[in-house]
Amino acid sequence: MKKQAVQRLLSLAPYQPGRPIDEVKRELGLRSVIKLASNESPFGPSPRVLKAIEKAALDVNRYPDGGCFYLRQEVSKQLSVKAGQLVFGNGSDELIILALRSFVNPGDEILVSDPSFMVYSIGGKAVGAKVRVVPMKDFHHDLKALAAAVTENTKIIFLDNPGNPAGTYITDQALRDFLTKIPSRVVVFLDEAYYEYACLQKDYPCSLSWISQYPNVIVARTFSKIYALAGLRVGYAIASEEVADILNRVREPFNVNSLAQAAAVAALKDQAYYRKRAKDFKEQRQWLADECVKLGVRIIPGVTNFVLIDLQGAASPVAQELLKKGVIVRDMTAWGLKNFIRVTIGTDAENQRFVKTFKTVLKK
């Protein structure tokens, strides 16, 4: 192995996995622990999805369908896009990696906002990209600065819309204006992991309809959030047929497992169930944000299933105290946001427990 390549990889900060809830319970001697740290759904998948998983489990001796035939058909029908415009991945994380592997050579540049989803930088560094970071402006993507930062070496601009951890979103008009400024040779990767929450906003972009005009756009979505399938790992990208063809060439042949495919098809067919969930989350987010404001902290107004909270003081001791009381939230210090925690919206009972515990911890 080339020494330089190994050194580059050793300079990557490895992803720090959270500990299993049962381990936290055992260590801290707690009977009940709630996890509001990873922007998952607190609810299980719909009953129809569970049935589909049970049925598919009988066939796990077989390799999965490498072409995701039924899932492709369903997504293509629901989004009115061609089957050839779709690429499926082991979570939308994999689509980020596939785009980097396809379009970035060592020494090329990628542009990311700070803060934004960490996989862009980690994946970018892994392929030898120079990761150029553009600070957000008041927790919104600074589209003007991003457009100005494009050089002849820029290969991909990653935009999480809405952003994680900010939770804010780019409006339809702002994104259109941005795309007109970006050269067509630069891929614009629109990460819409929280689409199903954000699309309740009237001015959230309908980015799919622009792919014919801007074939440099890749839109990525996931079944990990509203569809509550984070543990099965399935996401997809929509792109021009040419771009989708490239991404499909570099992926592993059986990258989406058979349970995930069956579950995702069933989830898509159960839209009424998930639409209702998205509305409930919106109400719960507002409730949790209002309660936090009453406690004297600042909320970044977002449109996702989490809330970014500015404690205006060190976050780590607060996150630690919450943990001791059985409430796991994300301490944002690793993102460079040492005064912030990110709290995922849970069930009604979990949200109430968070607010009650948060109040006690803040009083201390």
Ligand X SMILES: Cc1ncc(COP(=O)(O)O)c(C=O)c1O
Which region, judged by CB under 6 A, interacts with ligand X, from 79-87, 88-96, 122-130, 322-330? 88-96
Distance CA 255, CA 65 (A): 9
Distance CA 307, CA 287 (A): 11
In the complex with ligand X, the residue whose CB is nearer, 169 or 178, is: 169
Closest distance between ligand X and the C-beta of residue 248, in Å? Answer: 18
In the complex with ligand X, the residue whose CB is nearer, 113 or 224, is: 224
**E-state strands within the chain:** 34-36, 86-89, 109-114, 130-135, 154-160, 187-191, 217-222, 235-238, 298-300, 306-310, 327-331, 340-344
In the complex with ligand X, the residue whose CB is nearer, 154 or 161, is: 161
Q: Scanning residues 338 to 357, which ones bind ligand X (CB under 6 A)?
A: none
Copy the structure tokens of residue 180.
Answer: 């007109």
In the complex with ligand X, the residue whose CB is nearer, 56 or 95, is: 95
Q: Of these, 160, 196, 331, 350, which contacts ligand X (CB under 6 A)?
A: 160
- What is the number of other CB atoms lying within 10 angstroms of the CB of residue 284? 19
Is 222 an interacting residue with respect to ligand X (CB under 6 A)? yes
Q: Of these, 235, 302, 326, 346, which contacts ligand X (CB under 6 A)?
A: 235
Binding marks (x or -) toward ligand X, 172..191, rule CB under 6 A? -------------------x
Q: Scanning residues 191 to 220, which ones bind ligand X (CB under 6 A)?
A: 191, 193
Backbone angles phi, psi at 60, to 5 degrees: -75, 0
DSSP for residue 65: -
Distance CA 146, CA 324 (A): 41
Is 305 an interacting residue with respect to ligand X (CB under 6 A)? no
Is 39 an interacting residue with respect to ligand X (CB under 6 A)? yes
> Cis peptide before 165, with omega less than 30 degrees from 0?
yes
In the complex with ligand X, the residue whose CB is nearer, 93 or 350, is: 93
Which region, judged by CB under 6 A, interacts with ligand X, from 18-26, 89-97, 137-145, 356-364? 89-97
Q: Of these, 91, 124, 302, 326, which contacts ligand X (CB under 6 A)?
A: 91
Contacts of 355 (CB under 8 A, 6+ apart): 288, 291, 292, 295
Closest distance between ligand X and the C-beta of residue 117, in Å? Answer: 4
Contact (CB, 8 A) for 70 and 123: no
SS3 readout for 229-287: CCCCCCEEEECCHHHHHHHHHHCCCCCCCHHHHHHHHHHHCCHHHHHHHHHHHHHHHHH
Closest distance between ligand X and the C-beta of residue 362, in Å? Answer: 27
Q: For binding to ligand X (CB under 6 A), which residues are involved?
A: 39, 91-93, 117, 160, 164, 191, 193, 222, 224, 230, 235
